[in-house]
Amino acid sequence: MSKTRQSGWIVAGMLLALGGLLAMARAADDPKTEAAKATAEPGTKGHGKMVFVLATGLEDLQTVNMAIRHAGMAKKSGFLDDSVLLVYGRGVQAFARDITAKPPLVSVAIKEAKEAGARIIVCGEALKRFDISREKLEPGVDEVVPNSIVTLAELVSKGYQIIKY
């Protein structure tokens, strides 16, 4: 192929790509497009499921609080069919009522996440490792599972998207 002909194809391809980018930019700025996004019906087919995985403990209080709140906010948004907070490792300490190092704002965040409709699942293996009995867990824990990794694999197999903290 001659250099001139090859250059012509390259220029044509670049113009086509540029035109596509401009069309996408116009669509993104179109108020009708924004209105359509804002009026999506919560809970309809095609809405997602998320699992927020909390493995860090009270040594990173900001992350613990953020994971709990994000699980609640995601469910409250109305765009998800299900929002799960899966807690394992040192994260289980944030859900024990008798840990004195835990500030009250963690319990408040748990309560708010539950009120928003998030499900809270805690790892039984981690509870054993940290010697926390089920009876000493914060109200709002929906389920204690034998192994959180097996539960995570199950949720992923059901289409849940993972957010890890």
Q: Is 132 helix (H, G, I), strand (E, B) or coil?
A: coil
Mean pLDDT of 29-58: 68
**Domain span at 18:** 3-38
Per-residue pLDDT for 30 more than 90? no
Measured CA distances, 136 to 34, 73, 97, 132, 142 (Å): 47, 26, 6, 7, 14
Whether residue 52 sits in one domain with residue 34 = no
Is 145 within a domain? Answer: yes
Whether residue 93 sits in one domain with residue 17 = no
The pLDDT of residue 10 = 55
Whether residue 62 sits in one domain with residue 32 = no
Over residues 126-146, the pLDDT tens digits come to 999 999 999 999 999 999 999
Whether residue 117 sits in one domain with residue 86 = yes
Is 43 within a domain? Answer: no
The pLDDT of residue 16 = 45
Mean pLDDT of 52-61: 96
Whether residue 74 sits in one domain with residue 9 = no
CATH of the domain at 88: 3.40.1260.10
Measured CA distances, 101 to 50, 52, 60, 93, 105 (Å): 29, 23, 12, 10, 12
